Amino acid sequence: MRQLRLIVLLTPLILGACGDSAAPGGNGGGGGPGGSGKYDVTITRTSLGIPHIRAGDYASLGYGYGYAFAEDNLCVLQEDLVTIRGERARYFGRDGSYTIIPNGVTANNVDSDFFWRFAADETRLAPTRDNTLPEFKQVTAGFVDGYNRYIRELKAGAHPGRHAACADADWLFEISEDDMYRRYLRLALIASSSVFINEIANARPLLALSKSGEPTAEQKRAALEADPGPLRYFTELRGRRFGSNMYALGPEATQDGSRMLFGNPHFPWTGPERLYVAHATIPGELDIMGSSLYGVPAILIGFNDHFAWSHTVSTAYRFTFYELTLNPLNPLQYIYDGEIRDIEQVPITIEVLEADGTISQESRTLYRSHFGPMLVLEASGIPVLGWTPLKAYTLRDANAENDRLINQFARWNQAQSLDEFIRLHGEILGIPWVNTVATGPGGQAYYGDVSVVPNVPDGKVTLCQAVPLHAVVQQLVPGLPVLDGSRADCEWDTDPDAPAPGIFGPGNLPKLLRADWVGNFNDSYWLTNPAEPITGFARIIGDEETERTLRTRLGIRQIQQRLDGSDGLPGTGFTLPLLQQVVLSSRIYSAELAQQTVLDEICPDASGDAVSACAALARWDARANLDSTGAHVWREFWFVLSGNRGGTGGSYWATPFSADDPVNTPRDLDADQAAVRDAFEAGVAAVAASGFAFDAPLREIQHPLAIEDDIPIFGGQFFEGAFTIADSDPLDANGYEVEYGNSYIHTVTWDEDGVHAEGFVTYSQSTDPASPHFADFTREYSAKRWHKFPFTPEEIAADRIREYRLSE
């Protein structure tokens, strides 16, 4: 049996005072500096539960990270690992389901298991596992051992009361390194294959057409418009919930010529796509702090003395559909360049926990072309991408082929300068689905959508589009190609500077360096800085000269107004406190554009409840701060008016969008339209039905869904043009229960002493209600008390609440 050794560096009195779980126990043994042990790491917890993990080697770093993470979020990650093993039905039963929160896809446990057994099998795992940098293979192996150590301690009773959701469950078992590589793959596929879990898991050939025959293109178009199905992620959810805001400020944007960075991903407040803050140090190798998605032992959004960076979800598509022409005598064969190829049949068997407690087995065959998985996509009962005796559909997923994701972040964590960071961005090209901004002392503000994108130039789409399906899909999802899969010349191209076949190289991806600023708010790269629009890139990457969302426009206006001093704050340009004030100001841009019009043109005709609603709006400050009264009235009105679309595409503006003035158009609410007045009435009715007073402050209405519900949460929603995001379902008797939005936030700058970073984890570090760090950071966020992230040894020692050393 392995021998374990722990040296607790704080007294029991201090340990008890901090209120954390009991320190891990050990039986003595041969770890430690100069010994023969496998691991030796020190974990220092600072206030609000942030672990600072200091080790002499990569394996020990991973060991400490895995242990610390399990202390805080064991059950949430474990359930996800069970899921991507394809074992949900085995442990949670046939009738359960699972939702990938960011892309909105829900699958029953059986379909989920078949999909993940297929999508994350050995052939898909091997490239990532084999090509991961040796030192981060060590980090991964160490994470597994540290995580498993905590599980053994928990099961032995070392941490009483902790992790009640899984402590006694049969699905809490020790994990393997392959579980971690599956997790990396699962995260890479969020914006591509895993959007189509149900469509891939249930794809079957249709041996004969129905009596009504193949649906027409117009029928398919109408069906998609009525029910986009999984394509809803690309039409409604991307940039709404799984979105973000970020600025990089160069010397021309700050009052003292320093550089600053603001990062604020909008990620779920529940589930495994939460972000976890940690600080990793190997003296002489890396010293990096920031946040990571659960189960990734590398900093994904971070900072150090040399640079800082952040991400937003990109508009680029990570896959294409291919239309296959089938052998009319065999629907499991397709024609490719005049030859017949077999569709691969993949038999899979899963175990299922039945209602009577017995375990049964269920088998299914899934299918794969040389492009990738076969799928059948139905909308409104019509097979839009069907599998008839003549045609079938498959997809190729660039991120299913991306074996560089963990290496990208690993090398960034090791980088020693901003220039190296930027070079590595294009050299490795492993970023799966996000834009990046970065800056650092002495550098400029950098932006790049240098990410994994199928190399499908516009000319190739023109020559290779599958008629008429490509045009049908374009109506709903512009820029997503449906290509002819019968021709080799319709395969993806490969750029000479690309690190892998089939993707664009950095020379064909959008980038910008400026001395003032760059930013992104989930629209495309085009208006990264309106003074220098980025143009000339393939449509699959993003759109150009098109209307921006209200959130994007506000994100730009906040910078412009700060630089010209028209925002009412002191001076011109940014300081760190001014940056923090701007990004949490909770402005609502739709109100800035239209509140006065409503008061002037709709409210004079008000009657009944609308009189009270108008009185509340007249006193409203056009923000979503805790003491803002009437914010919910405007939100419910704009929810109806905008159709929950994010503030674009509406016909309710008198001045339409102009590419010559994209930041300030469209504007001027046309209050004479019946649709505008009807929306106002509907919004008033929704508030009345909720039971909340029209002039209630937001602090009485908005709170977290899954944390302590007495914590008030500020912020608005994407469709009303909020920049400070707190997303929830529409108003009801429970108020607004926040389940998405501002998550990890950091504001970073540098001075002669090095990096200075302040921020939040809005939903706190731990998902375990028994943890002292289940809601503490959320309360700090609610009060807008920015937290200084300790970085130097002196800062860490001054803020220390608990410290312990682990060895094995």
Kindly tell me the burial class for residue 93, based on how many C-beta atoms sit within 10 Å of its own C-beta (0-12, 13-18, 19 or more). Answer: middle
pLDDT on residue 333: 98
Which segments of the chain belong to CATH 1.10.439.10? 5-199
Give the integer Cα–Cα distance in Å for 138 and 155. 26
SS (H, E, C) 153-215: HHHCCCCCCCCCCCCCCCCCCCCCHHHHHHHHHHHHCCCCHHHHHHHHHCCCCCCCCCCCCCC
Q: What are phi and psi for residue 605, nearest 5 degrees?
A: -100, 10
DSSP string for 546-578: SPPPHHHHHHHHHHHHHHHTTTSSSSSSB-HHH
Question: What is the band of 644 on the pLDDT scale with cuts at 50, 70, 90?
Answer: confident
Question: How many other CB atoms are there within 10 angstroms of residue 417's CB atom?
Answer: 14
Give which of 151, 152, 3 is closest to 78, Cα–Cα.
151
Which segments of the chain belong to CATH 1.10.1400.10? 586-722
- What are 526-574's pLDDT values in tens digits? 999 999 999 999 999 999 999 999 999 999 999 999 999 999 999 999 9
pLDDT on residue 235: 85
- What are 49-65's pLDDT values in tens digits? 999 999 999 999 999 99
pLDDT on residue 645: 64
Q: Per-residue pLDDT averaged across 715-743, rounded?
A: 96
Q: Per-residue pLDDT averaged across 7-14, rounded?
A: 34
Residues 6 or more apart in contact with residue 241 via CB below 8 angstroms: 102, 104, 266, 268, 718, 727, 740
405 vs 37, higher pLDDT = 405
Question: What is the band of 22 on the pLDDT scale with cuts at 50, 70, 90?
Answer: low
Give the integer Cα–Cα distance in Å for 412 and 300. 9
- What are 168-180's pLDDT values in tens digits? 999 999 999 999 9
- Angular region, 325: left φ>0, alpha ψ -120 to 50, beta rest: beta
The mean pLDDT value of the chain amounts to 94
> Which amino acid belongs to residue 780?
E
- Angular region, 479: left φ>0, alpha ψ -120 to 50, beta rest: left
Q: What are phi and psi for residue 501, nearest 5 degrees?
A: -70, 150
pLDDT on residue 524: 97
pLDDT on residue 283: 97
Structure tokens at 23: 């320190």
Residues 6 or more apart in contact with residue 462 via CB below 8 angstroms: none
Residues 6 or more apart in contact with residue 544 via CB below 8 angstroms: 524, 526, 533, 534, 535, 537
Task: Tell me how far apart the terminal alpha carbons of the chain are, to the nearest angstrom.
Answer: 11
Give the integer Cα–Cα distance in Å for 366 and 375. 9
Long-range contact pairs involving 502-505 (C-beta distance under 8 Å, separation at least 24):
502/396, 502/398, 502/401, 502/454, 502/455, 503/398, 503/429, 503/452, 503/453, 503/454, 503/455, 504/453, 504/454, 504/455, 504/538, 504/541, 505/426, 505/429
- What are 407-427's pLDDT values in tens digits? 999 999 999 999 999 999 999
Q: How many residues does the chain have?
A: 808
- What are 286-310's pLDDT values in tens digits? 999 999 999 999 999 999 999 999 9
> What CATH architecture applies to the domain 5-199?
Orthogonal Bundle (1.10)
Give the integer Cα–Cα distance in Å for 714 and 378. 39
pLDDT on residue 37: 85
Please check the confidence at residue 372 and state whether its pLDDT lies above 70: yes
pLDDT on residue 16: 35
Contact by Cβ (8 Å): 343, 332: yes
pLDDT on residue 209: 60
Handedness of CA 313, 402, 537, 375 (dihedral sign): negative
Give which of 319, 292, 312 is closest to 240, Cα–Cα.
312
Give the integer Cα–Cα distance in Å for 425 and 415. 11
Please check the confidence at residue 21 and state whether its pLDDT lies above 90: no
Determine what percent of the chain is predicted with pLDDT higher than 70: 94
Q: What are phi and psi for residue 568, nearest 5 degrees?
A: 85, 0
Give the integer Cα–Cα distance in Å for 391 and 316. 27
Give the integer Cα–Cα distance in Å for 301 and 289. 8
Handedness of CA 216, 217, 222, 223 (dihedral sign): positive
Structure tokens at 174: 């020790």
- What are 136-151's pLDDT values in tens digits? 999 999 999 999 999 9
Question: What is the band of 236 on the pLDDT scale with cuts at 50, 70, 90?
Answer: confident
- What are 257-289's pLDDT values in tens digits? 999 999 999 999 999 999 999 999 999 999 999
Structure tokens at 440: 């650092």
Tell me which of 9-13, 19-23, 32-36, 233-237 is least confident: 9-13
Give which of 257, 254, 251, 290 is closest to 578, Cα–Cα.
254
pLDDT on residue 482: 98
Contact by Cβ (8 Å): 319, 193: yes
> Which amino acid belongs to residue 386?
G
Question: What is the band of 152 on the pLDDT scale with cuts at 50, 70, 90?
Answer: very high
pLDDT on residue 2: 35
Residues 6 or more apart in contact with residue 216 via CB below 8 angstroms: none
pLDDT on residue 30: 33
Please check the confidence at residue 244 and state whether its pLDDT lies above 90: yes
Contact by Cβ (8 Å): 153, 24: yes
Tell me the whole-structure pTM to 2 decimals: 0.95
Question: What is the band of 210 on the pLDDT scale with cuts at 50, 70, 90?
Answer: low
Q: Which of 60, 244, 258, 782 is catalytic?
A: 244
Q: Per-residue pLDDT averaged across 101-130, rounded?
A: 96
pLDDT on residue 211: 64
Q: What are phi and psi for residue 192, nearest 5 degrees?
A: -145, -105
Active site (annotated) includes residue 97: no
What CATH fold (topology level) applies to the domain 586-722? Answer: 1.10.1400
Kindly tell me the burial class for residue 16, based on how many C-beta atoms sit within 10 Å of its own C-beta (0-12, 13-18, 19 or more). Answer: exposed
- What are 587-624's pLDDT values in tens digits? 999 999 999 999 999 999 999 999 999 999 999 999 99
Give the integer Cα–Cα distance in Å for 498 and 515. 28
Determine what percent of the chain is predicted with pLDDT higher than 90: 91
Contact by Cβ (8 Å): 263, 68: no
Q: Per-residue pLDDT averaged across 463-489, rounded?
A: 97
Contact by Cβ (8 Å): 359, 351: yes
